[in-house]
Amino acid sequence: MAVAVSVATLLGLLGAHWWFFDLFSHFRVQYFVILCVCTAVLLAFRFKLASAVFAVFLVINLALVLPLFIGTNQCEGQTLHSFSALLMNVYTANTDFQATLNLVVELDPDMVVLEEVNAAWVGQLGQLKEAYPHSLVQEREDNFGIGVLSKFPLRGAEILHLGSAGVPTVKAEVELGSTVLTVIGTHPLPPVRSRYWRSRNEQLSGLSSLVQSVTSPVVVLGDLNTSPWSPHFQRLLNETNLQSAFTGRGFHPTWPTWNPVFYIPLDHCLHSPDVCVLRAQVARAVASDHLPVYVVLGLPAGLN
């Protein structure tokens, strides 16, 4: 097993070049745990050379995982406007609507970004209309419907298509006192084959261009179908200077709920440097294959 995991460690580093290699980039925590166990067993049986070799691959994965636990984007000594948001990939085939509605009521966020919403989901979400009078939703039956529900009026709300896949992205501005915040919700195709991989990367590239065109503070919420260790995700961060709301908060996987052994973080809240994080958590399961992400953000008063 240690040999297979070591090979997978190296293949994941080549994810920029081929979709199949990129799939191996997502399981760094699992690789690290397996290699820790294997190295310890080999040391116990005095296989020093083998344990030293596998320790090298252990360190590679540790170096990739460790940044999740380092750094901070917390708010310190600032006068802030607070803004809370809930990201939920509801899973189109999920018919346990009440679990989702109950979580929204319980957390009471200022905004909800919903993914995989179809006509049935839109009908159920009508129950939230009083609490969330402002919305923009594009329902679809193919797992790529998307929408935003907001307590605040939405300014310039629009549905965009980033890349050639034709899946929708929602973009809107909200006014928080004298501060304007741009919120983007997006959901690329899963990179499980070459064409989908190229489409996801194209959409991430389009997202990068969109973020760079925004002059106000910006927050991106979405099941991006990539983990933090994919080179394509890292390129997005490098090009936009976006930061994860979970920076310094450790490992927060969101998918797949049906098999925690393979848990990886696919659902993200990314924000511009002028936004800080008061709270970030993965919320409880709501019968979807993804766990929701809940954040409370802070924006300096008067920023625009």
Residue-wise pLDDT tens digits, 218-229:
999 999 999 999
Per-residue pLDDT of 275-296, as tens digits, reads 999 999 999 999 999 999 999 9
Torsion over CA of 212, 186, 17 and 272, rounded to 10 degrees?
40
pLDDT in tens, 259-279: 999 999 999 999 999 999 999
The pLDDT of residue 71 = 81
What pLDDT is stored for residue 77 in this prediction?
61
Which pLDDT value is given to residue 215?
92
- By the 8 A CB rule, do 261 and 45 touch? no
Which two structure tokens, joined as six digits, stand for 277?
């994080």
Euclidean distance between the first and the last CA atom of the chain, given in angstroms as a whole number: 53
Q: Please state, as a whole number, how many other Cβ atoms lie within 10 Å of the Cβ of residue 300.
A: 15
Which residues fall within 8 angstroms of residue 213, CB to CB, at 6 or more apart? Answer: none
pLDDT at 304 over 70: no
pLDDT at 2: 85
Distances (CA, A) of 45 to 1, 39, 224: 16, 10, 43
Q: CA-to-CA distance for 113 and 119, rounded, in angstroms? A: 16
Q: How many CB atoms lie within 10 A of CB 149?
A: 23
Res. 46 pLDDT band, cuts 50 70 90: confident
Nearest to 81 by CA among 204, 237, 216, 191: 216
Calculate the average pLDDT of the chain. 94
Spatial contact of 146 and 129, defined as CB atoms under 8 Å apart: no
Beta strands in the chain (DSSP E): 80-89, 111-115, 134-138, 146-150, 155-161, 168-176, 179-185, 218-223, 243-244, 267-271, 276-282, 293-300
pLDDT of residue 25: 97
Mean pLDDT throughout 137-143?
96
Q: Is 242 helix (H, G, I), strand (E, B) or coil?
A: coil
**Averaged pLDDT for residues 32-53:** 88
Contact assessment for residue 174 and residue 149, using Cβ atoms and an 8 Å cutoff: no
Provide the 10 A C-beta neighbour count for residue 203: 24
**Which class does domain 80-300 fall in?**
alpha beta
3-state secondary structure of 229: coil
Whether a cis peptide bond, with omega within 30° of 0, leads into 231 is no
pLDDT of 147 > 90? The answer is yes
pLDDT band at 34; cut points 50, 70, 90 = very high
Determine which helix (DSSP H) or strand (DSSP E) holds 79, and give its type and residue range: none
What pLDDT score does 302 carry? 61
Average pLDDT estimate for 16-40? 96
pLDDT at 47 over 90: no
pTM, two decimals, is 0.94
Confidence of residue 177 (pLDDT cuts 50, 70, 90): confident
| pLDDT value at residue 61 | 97
pLDDT of residue 78: 66
Domain ranges of the chain: 2-69, 80-300
- Model confidence at 50: pLDDT above 90: no
Q: Are strands 267-271 and 293-300 parallel, antiparallel or unpaired?
A: unpaired
